[in-house]
A and B are shown apart, each in its own frame.
Chain A
Amino acid sequence: MQTVIRTDKLTKRFGTLTAVDRLDLEVREGEVFGFLGPNGAGKTTTLRLLCALIAPTAGTAEVAGHRLGKEDPEIRASVGILTEQPGLYERQSAIENLVFFATLYGLDRTTAAKQATHFLQLMGLWERRDEAVATFSRGMKQKMAIARAALHEPRILFLDEPTTGLDPDAAKTVREFIVALRGEGRTVFLCTHNLDEADRLCDRIAFFRHSIIRIDTPDQLRAELYGRATEIRLLPTPRAEDLARIRAVNGVREAWLENGSIIVAADDPLRTNPELVRVLVDGGAQIAYVSERKAHLEDVYLKIVEAIR
């Protein structure tokens, strides 16, 4: 797959504060790329840099085949951005808002109207196309802002917290839209604090705090956290000696109690699990069930954030 974003030691300083520090990044065409990090990590600054909205202090970048700082209008034409705030003209109707922005992206009147119609229908806002945006709910405004970002069919779509404040139904519409964009071969650069969403949507995830800390697929990140884990439910509850027996089994890296179950991290669960069952039964424990336990991306996130503190 072709690389659509490539940065080389991209740096942005504001006085003494370094918001982005020698960022090296490659994003491939057609992937949904998750960009995760704590508040104040410099995610918005990175987005603004990659959208040619602000200039880097040092380093270089190439976005959609255009050099940052040399072909900025071409970069802005190739990307769409959903900012933290919807930023819509509230006195104007939904269709007027979209047609206005389409014109600014260089679309002729017919294409602008066609695209505005298409995206209003896609976002379920067509029935309210002639109403002032001020009358819209937070979720509807967010959907309008997403429609505006995608209106000119950009090669790369930068989405900053796209489902924040949306009800589950609207959030589902947005997630389906992101999946559809990937299906068309468009790249989605997704900034989110919703780790479940990142897990479900992203092909790769970068943990970021002024520079990249870790980057991989969600499955690989989870696997590296504690291998493949097993959850063992005992009746009535696990005892201290059960935990001690498990920890003594060969191949067990870690075992702990969580919500009344024993979680076991092992290098090779297929070999270790039968032994775990045997030692527990031999020790008089009553096993309710044994299942594979997938680590949550939240566990990975918290572990990484804790490590860098």
Chain B
Amino acid sequence: MTVATLAMRPQRVALVRAVCVREWREALGNKLLVGMTLLPPSVILAAGIAAVAAAAVNPPSERDVQALYAAAPAVAGLDPKEAVQGFIATYFLILFMLIPTVVPLTMAIYSVIGEKSARTLEPLLATPVGVGELLFAKSLASTVPSVIVTWAAYAIYLVSVISIGSQAASRAVTAPRWIFAIVVMVPLLTLLSVNLGILISTRVNDVRVAQQIGGLVVVPVVGIGIAQVTGRVVIDNQTFIGFASFLILLDLAVFFMAKFAFQRENILVRWR
């Protein structure tokens, strides 16, 4: 008589939930990872609120105002105090876009390199779970907390700026294109960063090396931010939609590259 097994292919929802819960428990137990996840948004948030508050309290000098008008023609003609606050509020919104590139990268790197060093990948891959499903669950486990952290930081920033800032500052942080950026582009940037982190982690075994390589993902975001702040590029609604479309394509490409690298045989035989 043939003996029976209890096992079967798990439901996708149950799998994703199990992987996410396990990864989050693991992450919460890693103080370094928790610190590295919370530090960037906390610093950007605190600095942003402090800068807007400082600009509200201290009127800018004539020289500052002229420099600001030259760098940001969009604010020319506004009351100098209003203009400075609007400018600072916008500048920090750009910095907020760095959070989804930095925070999830660390989580994704720990998620794969941690499993590599603990030798937990083989028993994981010995289950009936598909590698694509596993990769998707891992991506989601790193993406969800990062998006929540960014959105929470933005919400606090929004409330703070509206409370203490000028009308120009309030208008800047509630501009539709920035809300679009936070709601749509933050998850897209997060996914990009996560899958890039996973892809890099398939090739290296050291968290620090992976972070250094993955850190390059912030360069285009910083570049666009600087170009916007200095007035060299004006990012309008159309540009935001263009960026979002490009990010969707890039996300898909990087996910499939990560999926290609994340194959059972590659992991067991070639990953060291």
Measuring CB to CB, which residues of chain A are less than 8 angstroms from any residue of chain B?
A: 2, 14, 29-30, 48, 51, 53-55, 64, 73-74, 76-81, 83, 85-92, 96, 100-101, 103-108, 111, 115, 145, 148-149, 152-155, 184-186
Contact = CB atoms under 8 A, between A and B. Distances in A.
B265 A92 contact: no
A104 B130 contact: no
18 contacts: A54-B269, A73-B130, A76-B127, A77-B7, A83-B119, A87-B123, A90-B118, A91-B25, A100-B18, A100-B22, A103-B10, A105-B7, A106-B9, A106-B11, A149-B123, A152-B6, A154-B5, A154-B7
Contacts of A108: 14
B249 interface: no
Contacts of A153: 3-7
Contacts, number: 122
Given A91-B26, A105-B128, A155-B3, A53 B268 contact: yes
Contact of A55 (B3, B8, B14, B265): B265
B88 to A, nearest CB: 41
B15 to A, nearest CB: 7
Given A100-B22, A104-B18, A74 B128 contact: yes
B50 interface: no
A104 to B, nearest CB: 4
Given A73-B130, A152-B6, A152-B7, A103 B25 contact: no
Interface of B: 1-11, 14-15, 18, 22, 25-26, 29-30, 118-130, 264-265, 268-269
Given A96-B25, A101-B123, A184-B3, A106 B128 contact: yes
Q: Which of B125, B130, B265 has the most CB atoms of chain A within a 10 A radius of its CB?
A: B125
Contacts of A105: 6-8, 10, 127-128
A51 B265 CA distance: 12
Nearest to B10: A106
Contacts of B121: 87
B268 A48 contact: yes
A80 B126 CA distance: 8
List 10 A-B pairs, minimum CB-CB distance, nearest first. A152-B7, A106-B8, A77-B7, A105-B7, A104-B127, A91-B29, A85-B119, A103-B18, A106-B10, A87-B119
Q: Which of A88, A103, A152 has the most CB atoms of chain B within a 10 A radius of its CB?
A: A103
Contacts of A77: 5, 7-9, 128
Contacts of A85: 119, 122
Given A88-B120, A106-B10, A115-B6, 8 more contacts: A53-B122, A77-B128, A83-B122, A90-B118, A92-B25, A100-B18, A106-B14, A111-B6
Contacts of B127: 76, 101, 104-105
Please classify the interface of chain A as helix (H, G, I), strand (E, B), loop, or mixed, using the class held by over half of its residues.
loop
A89 B268 contact: no
A54 B125 CA distance: 10
A296 B268 CA distance: 36
B3 A186 contact: yes
Given A89-B118, A91-B25, A96-B25, A73 B9 contact: yes
B264 A89 contact: no
A78 B123 contact: no
B126 A53 contact: yes
Given A53-B264, A89-B120, A155 B5 contact: yes
A76 to B, nearest CB: 5
Given A14-B269, A77-B9, A103 B122 contact: no
A145 B122 CA distance: 12
A181 to B, nearest CB: 10
A104 B15 contact: yes
A73 B129 CA distance: 7
A104 B124 contact: yes
Contacts of B3: 29-30, 153, 155, 184-186
A101 B6 CA distance: 13
A66 to B, nearest CB: 11
B71 to A, nearest CB: 48
Contacts of B25: 91-92, 96
